[in-house]
Amino acid sequence: MPQAKRVISILGATGSIGQSTLDVIARHPDRYEVFAVSGATQITKLVEIAEQFAPRYVVVLQEANALELREQLKARKVQAEVLVGADALIEIATAAEIDTVMAAIVGAAGMPATLAAAKAGKRVLLANKETLVLAGKLFMDAVIQSGAELLPIDSEHNAIYQSLPVDFRQHPYQSSLAQAGIEKLLLTASGGPFRTRSLAELADITPAEAIKHPNWSMGRKISVDSASLMNKGLEVIEAHWLFNAPVDQIEVVVHPQSVIHSMVQYRDGSVIAQLGSPDMRTPIAYGLAYPERIAAGVKPLDLFAIARLDFEAPDLQRFPCLGLAYSAIRHGGAAPAVLNAANEVAVEYFLAGKIRFTQIPELIEASLSAHADLASSSLEELLYADQCTRLSAQRLAKDWSFKVSC
Ligand code: NDP
Ligand code: MG
């Protein structure tokens, strides 16, 4: 009997994860139907997506972009309704017609629609790690209450998910790592493009160098996060919430080849890992087809060509962002939200050439000192902490950018 198609909304369809998702979907037109897609600035790309995948809705954030989008769709004779704004993102993430949401907007901007999808009980393919950093408890509570099916797309968390016992990974809050016989989650990190640079050299890193990742092709923000190791810090927080994992049981292991995507260390001495080529289409296909396996277009792993796997401890002196993330999750409350907001501002200013690479952790540390104790028990309070941090971090970064340029 032919199976029913999965019907999907893709939040952030024009981005790196969005494009990889569409690539996997295009390989399986019998299995998946694209109901809605969203983008922010790349209007021509959205038109091309609409032409190829015929979604019912295309969402953008600004009226000006919507105007251009409607004109281009009309010129290409593509039938899709254009919706505008953050509320429209929530509409397409919760629509009754869909069963699956790919959450692939970058940054805290992706949180409201991702949270809404969880509340609506959808299968949530979670790429947007910032949702868990900003509002981890609220998000996991929503998943548990609605019975949403949460599948991690971030490659490390997807690897851990694949390496965990089935009962535990599906209901991590009904037991504990200890009850599942697990001692540690081993989160691998490539170490980024500056793994071997000295502290002195890091001050003069340019944005172009920072976005050139040695193994993965990704969006600009996560590429900078990978270079500063903040990406790994955000991932420690992500793992903490996804797997109900005490932070002391999450260990970061630098593994420059990015072949082992992460591991689970069990009490009896077993370590279970997931390996693969560094290509996000693997975890995306896993999430789309779970519990089945489908072709993803990924190059098979050639262990003879790889020949060796290396491991080293992260250097928190050269890469303080990782230590800051550990401190933030240990502190709890608003600290992870503050860390995330300050990091987003810092990365934006660094990419604009206004602050130095080494000022990213400085801005985050200053923000944590100022705002980590803000109230955090509701979504409103967390959003206030996020906004407050952004405003003060922007003021500080402007002040520093003056110093850099003179
Ligand atoms: P990209 O920058 O490539 O894409 C981001 C997407 O979000 C684009 O569709 C962009 O639209 C849209 N967008 C940007 N700003 C906003 C906003 N304010 N509101 C709504 N939409 C917006 O990012 P990635 O695909 O690399 O990453 C997406 C998420 O997945 C991030 O949270 C990242 O940490 C996570 N992730 C990514 C991995 C990767 O390999 N890329 C790996 C693991 C996790 P437009 O382009 O049209 O402006
Ligand atoms: Mg990752």
> Is the CB–ligand 1 distance for residue 15 below 6 Å?
yes
Residue 406 has pLDDT above 60, yes or no: no
Tell me, using a 6 A CB cutoff, whether residue 280 lines ligand 1. yes
| pLDDT, the chain, mean | 96
The CATH number of residue 90's host domain is: 3.40.50.720
Q: What percent of the chain has pLDDT over 70?
A: 98
**Among the atoms of ligand 1, which is closest to the Cα of residue 46?**
47
Q: What predicted TM-score, i.e. pTM, was given to this entire model?
A: 0.97
End-of-domain residue from the set 275, 308, 326: 326
Q: Tell me the pLDDT tens digit for each residue of 53-95.
A: 999 999 999 999 999 999 999 999 999 999 999 999 999 999 9
Number of domains making up the chain = 3
168 with 312, same domain: the answer is yes
The response to whether residue 109 sits with its C-beta less than 6 Å from ligand 1 reads yes
Whether residues 318 and 341 fall in one domain: no
Structure tokens at 257: 């080849």
* 214 and 172 part of one domain: yes
- % the chain with pLDDT above 90: 96
- Please check whether residues 95 and 16 belong to one and the same domain: yes
Residue 1 domain flag: no
Is 84 contained in some domain?
yes
Range of the domain at 351: 332-406
Residue 266 has pLDDT above 90, yes or no: yes
In a domain, 338, yes or no: yes
Give yes or no: residues 39 and 67 share one domain: yes
304 with 343, same domain? no
**Residue 351 beta carbon below 6 angstroms from any ligand 1 atom:** no
Task: Tell me, yes or no, whether 197 lies in a domain.
Answer: yes
Domain of 368, CATH number, reads: 1.10.1740.10
Residues 263 and 219 in one domain: yes
Query: Taking ligand 2, which is a single-atom ion, which protein residues have CB atoms under 5 Å away?
Result: 154-156
Question: Is residue 216 in contact with ligand 1, taking CB distance under 6 Å?
Answer: yes
Last residue of a domain, one of 301, 326, 351: 326
pLDDT tens column, 323-361: 999 999 999 999 999 999 999 999 999 999 999 999 999
First vs last Cα of the chain: how many Å apart? 70
Return the structure tokens found at 285.
Answer: 């296909």
Task: Say if ligand 1 is within 6 A of residue 14 CB.
Answer: yes
Q: Looking at the structure, do residues 12 and 91 belong to the same domain, yes or no?
A: yes
Is the distance from the beta carbon of residue 192 to the nearest atom of ligand 1 less than 6 Å?
Answer: no
Q: Does residue 168 share a domain with residue 90?
A: no
**Which ligand lies nearest the alpha carbon of 216?**
1
- For residues 66 and 115, state if they share a domain: yes
Any idea which ligand is nearest the CA of 90?
1
Q: Is residue 239 located within the same domain as residue 293?
A: yes
Examine the domain organization and report whether 63 and 192 are in the same domain. no
* Ligand 2 center–CA 73 separation, angstroms: 34
The bound ligand whose nearest atom lies closest to the alpha carbon of 159 is: 2
Query: What's the pLDDT score for residue 215?
Result: 85
Q: Which ligand 1 atom is nearest residue 17's CA? A: 25
The one-letter amino acid at 35: F
Per residue in 295-310, pLDDT (tens digit) is 999 999 999 999 999 9
H, E, C per residue of the chain: CCCCCEEEEEECCCCHHHHHHHHHHHCCCCCEEEEEEECCCCHHHHHHHHHHHCCCEEEECCHHHHHHHHHHHHHCCCCCEEEECHHHHHHHHHCCCCCEEEECCCCHHHHHHHHHHHHCCCEEEECCCHHHHHHHHHHHHHHHHHCCEEEECCHHHHHHHHHCCHHHHHCHHHCCCCCCCEEEEEEEECCCCCCCCCHHHHCCCCHHHHCCCCCCCCCHHHHHHHHHCHHHHHHHHHHHHHCCCCHHHEEEEECCCCCEEEEEEECCCCEEEEECCCCCHHHHHHHHHCCCCCCCCCCCCCHHHHCCCCCECCCCCCCHHHHHHHHHHHHCCCHHHHHHHHHHHHHHHHHCCCCCCCHHHHHHHHHHHHHCCCCCCCHHHHHHHHHHHHHHHHHHHHHHHHHHHC
